[in-house]
Amino acid sequence: MHPIALLRKWNLSYTQLANELHLTEATVRAWGFRSTAKKFRHPSDLVQRTCQLLDEKWEREKKAETESQVA
Question: Which amino acid belongs to residue 29?
Answer: R
**Global pTM value:** 0.85
Residues of the chain with pLDDT under 70: 71
Q: Tell me if the domain spanning 3-70 has CATH number 1.10.1760.
A: no
The one-letter code for the residue type at 66 is T
Type of residue numbered 61: E
Structure confidence at residue 71 (pLDDT): 64
What is the C-alpha to C-alpha distance for residues 21 and 51, in angstroms, rounded to an integer? 8
- Supply the pLDDT for residue 41: 84
| DSSP secondary structure letter of residue 33 | S
